[in-house]
Structure formats: C-alpha cells, structure tokens
Structure 1
Amino acid sequence: MGEHIGTEIELTVDKIAHGGIAVGRLDGRVVFVSDAIPGETVRARVSDDRKKSFWRADAIEVLSPSEHRRDHIWGAAAIDRDPRGRAGGAEFGHIALEHQRELKRQVLAEALQRMAGLESDVVVEALPGDDAVNGLGWRTRIRLHVDDQGRLGPMASRSHSVIPVTDAPLATPAVQAAAPFAERFLGYDTVDVLAPSGGDARLVLGDQKPTVITERVGERVFRLDDTGFWQVHRSAAVALTDAVQQAIDESLFDPRADNLDLYGGVGLLAAAVADRFGASTRITSVESDERATDHASENLAEWLGASAESGRVDRWLRSLASSASAGDRGRLRSATVVLDPPRSGAGTEVMGLLTSLEPAQLVYVACDPVALARDVALAAQAGYSLSRIRAFDLFPHTHHVEAVATLVRA
C-alpha cells in the first residue's frame, strides 16, 4: 500500500459520515473526503490508502459546488491551501451554518437508527446569538501548539504538524485580543488562551501550575482551575444547565433519593439539578480529577444534601453496587442519574453497572452521537427507553454536536 497516495481523483460525494467527512465511491471503493459537501463533485488527492476497503482523500478543487458552500470562515483552512497546510479545528467552515446543523442532525439520527433501532425527529438547535455573527467568536478557550520555530497555531487535520496562524475567528474577541500570535514560544509545547466569564483573559504555558478562576452561569459563580475542564462555547454552560433541568421528568424525581452526577467536573450539572429541585435535594457528584472534586465540593456547598467524591466512575459504581444495602438500593431505584462522559461515552461496563442499580431515569449529556447511540442501545437491553432527546450546536463550524437524552426505566 502507499502507491496511490498523492494521486488525484474525481468523484461525487453523497453523504456525511461521523467525524464530519464526506463519503463517495470510486470504482466501488469507499472514499472519505475532507472539505467536501454531500452532493458535490470534487477533485481530491488521496492521503491514505492503507485499507483495502476505503481510502482517505482531501478535496483540492470543487467541480460542481453545493448550494450550501461558502467561502471558508478561516483563510488558514481554505480549500485553496495545500491540504497538508490547512489548519484543523474548523472542518465545517466552508458550509452554510444552517446546513451544518442539518448534517449534524443526519449523523445523530442515523447513529440512533443504526445502533439503537430508533427513529428520531431531533433537530440541532442554535445557541443564542450565533446566527447573528455567522457562528463566529464563541470559543472562550483555545489551545495553540508550538512549532519548531516557536510559532503558534493549531494542528493540521489528522496530523501532528503545527500550522502557524495569525488569527482564530472561532475565538471570542477577548481570546483573540489576548492570543500572542506574533510572539515566539520556544521551550513550550502548547499555549492555552482563555477568557473566563469571571475575569480577564490569560495564558497558560505548557504544563504551568494551575491557578483558580471563576465562571459565571446566571447568578451562580463556579470555581475551577484554569487548566481544568469547562464548556468552551460562551453560552454552553447556561444552555446545558437549562437543558438538563428540562430533561428531568419531574414525576420521576425524588429529592431524597441517592441522585448522582457522574463525570461531574466542578459540579455544574449537579448544581443545575439542585437549583431546579431545591435545598433538600440529595445529589452526589463523582469525578476522577481530584482538584475538580475539591472545587465541586465548594461549588455545591450551599446544598446540605450535595456532595462530591473523587473516583473513576466505573470503580465508584462497582464499589457502590457491591456494598449497597437494601435501603441503599431502594434510594437508588428512586434516583435520577445525570452523566456527562468523555467523548468515548460511558461504555459497556459503566452502563451495565448503572442500569443494574435500576435508577428511575438517566439524563445523558453526550458530545459524540455514535457513543450516545451505542449507550442508548445498551440501556435498552436493560429495560430503559429513550423518552426525549435534544441536540445543540455548541461547536459551530466543526462537526461536533452536543445532545441531552432522557432514558427512563420501563
């Protein structure tokens, strides 16, 4: 293999695949094509032919453009650049914003149908203000990598090559103003630029020791590390707080049950639950990052029934399942469980442990549609059905989509 790499081919792409790559066929072989839109005919350059069943290629010229094609929002990622020199991180930037959401909807709906056997009329909802600015200026955090000359930029798509840039149009104005594109950073691998809602923009250089920042969500203030996880879109924390609150079936919620917030971070979603259901709400947030757990304990301190524990979710659930008394199991059967796993999803073991405890409902926050669909199918095997789902465009001009699903015990 390898003899076809660099070969230019002409083909029509007809669908979008998970990961935001368009799919076409050439002489019966599947070809995944970056920077193309379903319905287009393009000239593309083969970049990977190691698999007999499919190739990967990059569009280099559009022969028959889609009506949804637009000039790329970022010159550093435009199709007129050599594919090896295109900045990653805005792979849908050449597609009209509304159609981006339609493509994301298709991927989510197809995953639910294929993996869980479910038909869904879910739509991908825009966050407030995004349409007015064409989906730009939403990132409150960016990570820039450092090349061998000390210059800053993202990685190229599917590559470890740093592409030096002079702008970041997806970043908020505060982040763009603070990004030191003109400076050199020899001796560092990464430079993070962030603008928390509770303070000024700042840089985090390499593995710099974390310092505490604050983020505001409505009237609430959350403490966290500047190196820790927080939702990137300027409006995401508010949107997910509202979505989780609405996703909980009030008729199934028991504030005295052993409610859980798994992969809880600094307590954002646990606070959302407690805010909706009041001071008597019992909820335990579980997070593997000990510093995040410390922050969660402080962020949840006003609720006497709220607590935060450190631990890997799988191990924590295994311990809970093995030690739960009859009374514990009763409170767990009445529980609402919120989970916001990493991109890989909860997976077979966690879903098995969780459903074995038979909580009344699961509210699953997902950043990967295929992982979500797989876990919905696993829950269905244990007697849980999908009662509602919403999707949100938390990452305009990328292929990523966030979903909030409610699963109830039959």
Structure 2
Amino acid sequence: MAESQGQQLELDVTNIAHGGISVARHEGRVIFVGDAIPGERVLARVTEDSKSSFWRADTLSVIEPSEHRQMHVWSSASVARKPEDRAGGAEFGHIVPAHQRELKRQVVVDSLKRFAKLESDVATGVTVEELPGDPDGTGWRTRVRLHVDASGRPGPYAARSHRVIPVTELPLATAAIQEAAPLAARFVGEEHVDIVQAGTGGARLIVGQQKPTTITEYVGEREFRLADTGFWQVHTHAAQTLTSAVQEAIDGELFDPRAHNLDLYGGVGLLAAAVADRFGSSTRITSVESDKAATGFASHNLSEWIGAEAATGRVEKWIAQLASSANSHDRARLRASTIVLDPPRSGAGKQVVQSIGGLQPAQIVYVACDPVALARDIGLFADRGYDLTALRAFDLFPHTHHVEAVATLTRR
C-alpha cells in the first residue's frame, strides 16, 4: 500500500470534475473526492495514490456543509455509512436537484472548453433541462440491474468496486420496479438479475442469461417492439424527450428527405422514427446497428416508411465501406444528408468522425451521454469543417453525474 493511502485530511472542496467527483488540493496536489460538494470543507480518507499528480479520497464526514447539501435520497449511499459500504449509482443524491443540474452544466461547459476549445455562446450558454416527473428526482428508473455476490445476495455494486451491497430500497426506480425487485431473495450461481418495466405488462425479472422475450414501449402513440434484454432509454420520459430534442435539433432548411440520411448506432429505430415522423412519409433514412436482434426490431418499427431501412453492422466498418464504395450519385445524396448518431459512452471516435466528415453531410445531430467524449468528437468534427450551432442538455439521470446532450453540427 502506498504511504499516503489511509491518510485522513481536512480538505476545502473547490470545484466539480467529470465522473461525479469533486476537486480539492493538498500541498499542491489535486485530490478527487467522492461524496463532497464544491464549497464544502470535509474530512476525507485517501484511497488511491496514483503516484502522479493526483490522489483519490472518500468523504468521511462533512465539517462545513454546502447550502446545497440535502439528506441523501438513498440511505444505502449516505455519507453516514462507511465509504466501502455505500451503494453506487446515486453519487449526486446528497445534492439538491437544481444544484445537481448546475454542476452538470459546469462539466459540459468545461469539457467543451478543454477538449473542443470552444467558448462560443452556444457552448457556454447551455443549461441542463429537467425532465417531467417527481421534482425530487426519484422514481424514474425503468430498468435496474442487481449484481449477485458469492452467497447469492443481489444488490448494486459499491462505488468504483465490484463489491455487492445488499439494500432494502431502490428509490430511483419506479414504483413497479421497487415492488418487483427481489432484494431479499437468493440467486446462487447467477451473476446478475435485471428488473425491467416495459410500456405494457408491468415489471418483470430477467435472471442471468434468461432467454429474451419481446416487449412494447411507447413514445406518444407510437409503438416500438424490442427484446426485454435489449437497450431502451432508462428514464420514464427519456425516449420522448430525445425524440423531441432530435426533431428540434434538425435544421429543416438543410434537411432533404430524398437524401441518404443516416441514423448511426440506431438501436431499435427510436431516432430514425423521430426523423421520419417530423419530415413525413417520403423520408429516406437508414438505421445502422451492430446488434442483429435490435436491427430486426428496427426493421419492424420503421416499416411504415417505405424509404426507411435498418442495416446490421459495426458503425465504424459500415460507414467506412459506404465512404469507399459510394459513386458520384451516392456522394451527392450523402452531401445533402442529415446524419444522426447516438454512440456509446466512449463516443464515436476518430475513425467514425473521419468517415462521416469525408461524406460531407449537410448537418450532423450528435446525441451523447458523456460530455468529454462529445467534446472530443466535436473538436474532431471541427477539423473536418463542422461547427457547433446548437446544443441542449438534459437531466436524464437525476441523482447521478450522468447528463445527456444533443448537439447540432453544421457544415461550413
């Protein structure tokens, strides 16, 4: 163990960092502190010495609390517990919701400044918008994964750990999920248990590698079929929020329904349907997804639009092949296109950005769940001739550090 580990320090917390941790300094060294709020003075214990310029620490007690501190919404994650016994997954639960959104806004703005070199009004003027629902930010999760320990007990992992923490409540989950969650049961030999609340039929348990079944979700009156083990937005209002946000993010004057429009990392077709719903039955759009089962559902979900289709393939390979094989007519349709992409947390990355930039679409709508990855990719798109022209952020994950953003990039 490094000599610094286990050391207890009184720290003045100065600002927020990406990942749900706060920043303090001790004798010139940066310390990332969990369960603290900028403006507080806390007693913290060093847990990790990276042998570089920073340490990590956990808050043991709060000496001078922030005016934005509240009683944690989840007692199992409270600072009153030993750090190693705190449930993960609600790292902002000790902060009043309005200030959570302010801290998330700061992270988005700082990420754009540091990784995209952007300080424009579009970048700095963003706010993090609250979703409908319970104003205290609980009761929104429609999907929960419980991990299982060696004795078969289910529960969340502790923060930054694979240690299962038994709990008696899941306050971020919907009432149906909370009622169905088998918190007192035993699942010896299993790795995890999922509880899923679909748009119809209530909550269901999925134990381990259980065979998937088909469920139906709704956005307004539109139905989407998918596997109960497949991806769907977690917040009860997230799918509708992102549908509307993507529709509004597209510049109608630049949209050509006859162009080779794309929906990358398209899942079961949620955002492709959002585009087609806005621009009508003549819309041509291809949804690309690596999961063959999801692509099959996307084909069904998009079947009412004759110009919509779903393709199975890894986006980086599919888009590179498109770029290399397109003839002059295809390239003209691609230059007129709108490309929507919703990549995983790691972002699209250099290869995909270069391929998209090479197609020279009229506009790009980028849906992101990680502000650092988004900012990095915006910087890469800038090198390919695209400017950030609109940006919205949404609090799709209250009481966590996660924030969703929808960015519009327009070709110069």
Give the Cα separation in 2 of the matches to 1:312 and 1:51.
Answer: 38
Deviation at 1:106, TM superposition (A): 0.1
Letter of the aligned partner of 1:274 in structure 2? A
- The answer for the alignment partner of 1:189 in structure 2 is 191
- The answer for the alignment partner of 1:126 in structure 2 is 130
Contact 1:141 1:192 (8 Å CA) reproduced: yes
SS in 2 for 1:295: helix
Letter of the aligned partner of 2:19 in structure 1? G
Letter of the aligned partner of 1:21 in structure 2? I
Give the Cα separation in 2 of the matches to 1:220 and 1:190.
Answer: 31
Give the Cα separation in 2 of the matches to 1:157 and 1:200.
Answer: 29
Contact 1:14 1:22 (8 Å CA) reproduced: yes
Letter of the aligned partner of 1:126 in structure 2? E
Contact 1:124 1:393 (8 Å CA) reproduced: yes
Deviation at 1:118, TM superposition (A): 1.6
Letter of the aligned partner of 1:261 in structure 2? D
Deviation at 1:198, TM superposition (A): 2.2
Give the Cα separation in 1 of the matches to 2:163 and 2:169.
Answer: 18
Give the Cα separation in 1 of the matches to 2:134 and 2:273.
Answer: 26
- The answer for the alignment partner of 2:205 in structure 1 is 203
- The answer for the alignment partner of 2:63 in structure 1 is 63
Q: 1:144 aligns with which of 134, 143, 146?
A: 146
Give the Cα separation in 1 of the matches to 2:13 and 2:252.
Answer: 45
Matches within 5 A, 1:354-393: 354-393=356-395
> TM-score, normalised to structure 1's length?
0.99
Contact 1:9 1:43 (8 Å CA) reproduced: yes
Matches within 5 A, 1:269-348: 269-348=271-350
SS in 1 for 2:399: coil
Matches within 5 A, 1:46-61: 46-61=46-61
Deviation by residue 1:224-256 (Cα, 9 ceiling, x = unmatched): 011110000000000000000000000000000
- The answer for the alignment partner of 1:242 in structure 2 is 244
Give the Cα separation in 2 of the matches to 1:112 and 1:52.
Answer: 25
Contact 2:145 2:193 (8 Å CA) reproduced: yes
Deviation at 1:197, TM superposition (A): 1.2
SS in 2 for 1:365: strand
SS in 2 for 1:251: coil
SS in 2 for 1:250: coil
Contact 1:5 1:46 (8 Å CA) reproduced: yes
Give the Cα separation in 1 of the matches to 2:268 and 2:201.
Answer: 18
Letter of the aligned partner of 1:334 in structure 2? A
Does residue 117 in structure 1 map to residue 106 in structure 2?
A: no
- The answer for the alignment partner of 1:41 in structure 2 is 41
Give the Cα separation in 2 of the matches to 1:51 and 1:314.
Answer: 36
- The answer for the alignment partner of 1:216 in structure 2 is 218
Deviation at 1:117, TM superposition (A): 1.9
Deviation at 1:267, TM superposition (A): 0.1
Deviation by residue 1:302-339 (Cα, 9 ceiling, x = unmatched): 00000000000000011101100000000000000000
Deviation at 1:218, TM superposition (A): 0.3
Give the Cα separation in 2 of the matches to 1:161 and 1:51.
Answer: 25
Letter of the aligned partner of 2:374 in structure 1? L
Give the Cα separation in 2 of the matches to 1:326 and 1:198.
Answer: 47
Give the Cα separation in 2 of the matches to 1:52 and 1:366.
Answer: 30
Instruction: Provide the identity percentage.
Output: 66
Give the Cα separation in 2 of the matches to 1:311 and 1:348.
Answer: 18
Letter of the aligned partner of 1:394 in structure 2? L
- The answer for the alignment partner of 2:19 in structure 1 is 19
Q: Which moved more, 1:204-213 or 1:98-107?
A: 204-213
> TM-score, normalised to structure 2's length?
0.98
4+ long deviations beyond 2 Å = none
- The answer for the alignment partner of 1:349 in structure 2 is 351
Give the Cα separation in 1 of the matches to 2:150 and 2:227.
Answer: 29
- The answer for the alignment partner of 1:6 in structure 2 is 6
Does residue 403 in structure 1 map to residue 405 in structure 2?
A: yes
Contact 2:150 2:189 (8 Å CA) reproduced: no
Deviation at 1:29, TM superposition (A): 0.7
Deviation by residue 1:31-61 (Cα, 9 ceiling, x = unmatched): 0000000010000011111333111000011
Letter of the aligned partner of 1:112 in structure 2? L
Give the Cα separation in 2 of the matches to 1:100 and 1:106.
Answer: 10
- The answer for the alignment partner of 2:93 in structure 1 is 93
Give the Cα separation in 1 of the matches to 2:201 and 2:265.
Answer: 26
Give the Cα separation in 2 of the matches to 1:99 and 1:330.
Answer: 47
Give the Cα separation in 1 of the matches to 2:384 and 2:53.
Answer: 35
SS in 2 for 1:118: coil
Provide the alpha-carbon RMSD of the alignment: 0.7
Deviation at 1:270, TM superposition (A): 0.1
Give the Cα separation in 2 of the matches to 1:2 and 1:156.
Answer: 22
Matches within 5 A, 1:259-274: 259-274=261-276
- The answer for the alignment partner of 1:228 in structure 2 is 230
Contact 1:2 1:50 (8 Å CA) reproduced: no
- The answer for the alignment partner of 1:256 in structure 2 is 258
Deviation at 1:271, TM superposition (A): 0.2
Letter of the aligned partner of 1:194 in structure 2? V
Contact 1:287 1:309 (8 Å CA) reproduced: yes
